[in-house]
Structure 1
Amino acid sequence: MKQIQVLVVDDSAFMRKVVTDILQADSDIKVIGTARNGADASVKNLTLKPDVITMDVEMPVLDGLGALKIIMKERPCPVVMVSSTTKAGGHTTMLAMENGAVDFVSKTSGPISLDLFTIAEQLREKVKLAVRATIVMPKVLPKAEPNIVAPQIAPTLRKLVAIGVSTGGPKALKDVLVHIPDTLPAPIVIVQHMPAGFTKSLADRLNSLCSIHVKEAEHGDLLRNGYAYIAPGGKHLMIIEKDGNWVCKLTDLAVVNGHRPSVDVLFHSVSQLNNAAVVAVVMTGMGADGAKGLKQLKENPSCWSLAQSEETSVVFGMPKMAIRTNSVDEIVHLHDLASRIVSSC
């Protein structure tokens, strides 16, 4: 198999060397060049034509976000952001994901991470995933008119939207949630695979853009219509019934399908709710998280299930595995997901 050609971008010569050594410890990866800032990176993207770029977020001359925008315009290439876990770093990382970055890893101890080796395997895995990812450019997304009608929900049932998403999720979630009105007669609960320290930035960013209220879920939150609750990184999110309310329960239980939070954990908990009419959505992401939980949800005849289409998914793993369970009612283009969620409620 052809080696994955990588361009490493960081303003620190030390970090460029560390990232290069980490990546080239895998025989499937070859670092073909390095860049010291975003301006240098945008030029080398054109001259070296890498398969994948690892991009520092905070750099002089032109930062990672600015470079990403140029790269996506001039020569789209899968980009993995390398971010600090500071509030500013988290916010910029969310903007990068909106603007086309495939994924990110977090520096373990600031801009100069002497212990970056602790996430070495994760970095190599994300580079290998990135080379197989689809860069979805909004201008080429086709719009498909749905031809399946969701079942009418009995008035006595309470409505809930449950979403599972991973790689490519921050941008896909934005594209969906900005089109959800705050009059939606249901709360929305979301598992986005993401480490601790970044889900708050994601929720805050989405909240600034959306009509609905978006927040990082907290233990004991009562679910309210017109609100979206995102599972915090490092915690499983479960929905339980308490005193007639639906309540967020956060747990530190073991990882499931390699993830905490896990979509299967959320979906399983929702499947246990009484008198619930659920719209379940499986979106872009690697792996099979959510497939088993969706099968449990579909045991409820009042569950309507949607999967994001292959051509609009950065990685079609999670939707594909959900579809294989024969538990998906509709396969929906990204630009139609919001309208299908609203019409299904």
Structure 2
Amino acid sequence: MNVFSDHTRTSPVRTLVVDDAPLMRKVIQEILAKNRDIEVVGTAVHGQDCLDKIPQLKPEVVTLDIDMPVMNGITAVKNIMVRHQIPIVIISSLVQDGYFAFEALRLGVMDFLPKPSKVVNTDWASEEELVRMRVRAAAGMQVHRMRRVRRHKKSPVITDHRQTAPSSIVAMGTTLAGPNTIMHIVTQLNPEFSGAVVALQEIHPRILVPFCSYFNEISPLEVVPVTDSVPLCQGRVYLGSTFLGLRIGTSIENPDELMVYVPPNPEFPIDQLFESAAFQYKHGACAVLLTGVGVDGTEGMRAIKEQGGLTIAQDHECCVYPNLVENALQHNVVDALMTNKGIAGRLESWLQDKF
């Protein structure tokens, strides 16, 4: 999980809190008030109220509930992104139904967080701090670069090679606002993609599994959420959270079988993933570094490059947060700088060159 800090700001982040429940509006305001770099400039009771108040209050960030009368959060997201292009942090209790998390992230919100709850999570301080961090980070988001993911009609899944271990691996890493970018790339892959994709994105662990269930509806490849340990198979996308991390390693029961698993203490989760891919696959590994805040991923790309693998970065002019990519470029570990569409095509041609 990356900590965002913008030392160039001289004024607090103007924030509009939107929730139909008076108690929750009060709770979120109190949480945000603990950071002097955040100013709650107003509240709204539903999506239409939010849209009416934006021109007057001029917020830089909107926190938004989903389940509201008059205009729900998803409809509000569509309107805000088109009419105002203001960063949105969803704070919702609807975490078990993956549709809402998937739709919000598909449309381009900065993040989807569960509502802080002392009942659900005993670490209340961490939940509070996460909300504040997301609002602060949202203020630095290049929203005009965000594009909603189209709902592609999914092709029939080809199953003849789905239990085969991949001979090549694509390791992807992204942090803030990254799920949207991963969706863009994965939905453009061929259903007969012969490698496997292992991707880390910044998504709350409680959202990961239900989110993947809806991602599967538009992905040409099967999307597998990783919260424990699963075997690597060809033609699948293994998706994990940077809160937990992912690594590639051998099975304890069968040393010849490669697994994707959640490691302990993922301090630099993208580096850990890339380095494990380099170790296990050598020149058969490809690292793809996407939008995000921080410096994670650079050393992992170096490891893959040194093994003769391919390193690709999303064009920093397309990133809603360019920090990860710019750091990798400064350290000369990027072989190719590409748009989302270009990345999907390059991965296909790279795999073909391997055979």
Q: Is TM-score (shorter-chain normalized) higher than 0.5?
A: yes
Deviates more, 1:270-279 or 1:328-337: 270-279
CA 1:59/1:226 → structure 2, altered by over 3 Å: closer, same or farther? same
SS at match of 1:184: coil
Partner of residue 286, structure 1 = 293
Partner of residue 21, structure 1 = 30
Partner of residue 300, structure 1 = 307
Task: Give the superposition deviation at 1:213.
Answer: 1.0
**Equivalences for 1:189-228 in 2 at 5 Å?**
189-217=198-226, 219-228=228-237
Which residue of 59, 77, 91 corresponds with 2:86? 77
Task: Give the superposition deviation at 1:112.
Answer: 11
Task: Give the superposition deviation at 1:113.
Answer: 9.6
Deviates more, 1:212-221 or 1:286-295: 212-221
Partner of residue 246, structure 2 = 237
8 Å CA contact 1:158–1:276 kept in 2: the answer is no
Is 1:4 the equivalent of 2:13? yes
Which residue of 127, 138, 144 corresponds with 2:135? 127
For 1:10 and 1:114, how far apart are their aligned partners in 2? 23
CA 1:110/1:208 → structure 2, altered by over 3 Å: closer, same or farther? farther
Which residue of 97, 102, 105 corresponds with 1:97? 105
8 Å CA contact 2:283–2:310 kept in 1: the answer is no
8 Å CA contact 1:160–1:276 kept in 2: the answer is no
Is 1:263 the equivalent of 2:270? yes
Which residue of 57, 62, 67 corresponds with 1:48? 57
What amino acid is the match of 1:26? Answer: N
For 2:123 and 2:26, how far apart are their aligned partners in 1? 13
CA 1:175/1:41 → structure 2, altered by over 3 Å: closer, same or farther? same
Question: Alpha-carbon deviations, 1:138-174, whole Å to 9, x = none?
Answer: 39xxxxxxxxxxxxxxxxx921111011111111111
SS at match of 1:305: strand
For 1:289 and 1:275, how far apart are their aligned partners in 2? 20
- Superposition RMSD in Å: 2.4
Deviates more, 1:177-186 or 1:16-25: 16-25
For 1:112 and 1:12, how far apart are their aligned partners in 2? 18
Question: Alpha-carbon deviations, 1:217-268, whole Å to 9, x = none?
Answer: 36442222211111256533211134433222333x12304xxxx1112112
For 2:29 and 2:297, how far apart are their aligned partners in 1? 34
What amino acid is the match of 1:109? Answer: S
Partner of residue 144, structure 1 = none
CA 1:310/1:16 → structure 2, altered by over 3 Å: closer, same or farther? same
What amino acid is the match of 1:162? Answer: A
8 Å CA contact 1:5–1:30 kept in 2: the answer is yes
What amino acid is the match of 1:173? Answer: I
For 1:19 and 1:336, how far apart are their aligned partners in 2? 40
Question: Alpha-carbon deviations, 1:288-331, whole Å to 9, x = none?
Answer: 12112111121101x11111112221111211222222111011
Query: Unpaired segments of 5 or more residues in structure 1?
Result: 140-156
Deviates more, 1:57-66 or 1:271-280: 271-280
8 Å CA contact 2:200–2:242 kept in 1: the answer is no
Normalising by the residue count of structure 1, what TM-score does the alignment of the two structures yield?
0.86
8 Å CA contact 1:307–1:319 kept in 2: the answer is yes
For 1:238 and 1:114, how far apart are their aligned partners in 2? 28
Partner of residue 4, structure 2 = none
**Equivalences for 1:136-155 in 2 at 5 Å?**
136-138=145-147
Query: Unpaired segments of 5 or more residues in structure 2?
Result: 1-9, 149-165
Which residue of 104, 108, 114 corresponds with 2:116? 108
Normalising by the residue count of structure 2, what TM-score does the alignment of the two structures yield?
0.84
What amino acid is the match of 2:86? Answer: C
CA 1:276/1:332 → structure 2, altered by over 3 Å: closer, same or farther? same
Is 1:170 the equivalent of 2:179? yes
Partner of residue 336, structure 2 = 330
Partner of residue 319, structure 1 = 325
For 2:282 and 2:81, how far apart are their aligned partners in 1? 46
8 Å CA contact 1:218–1:248 kept in 2: the answer is no
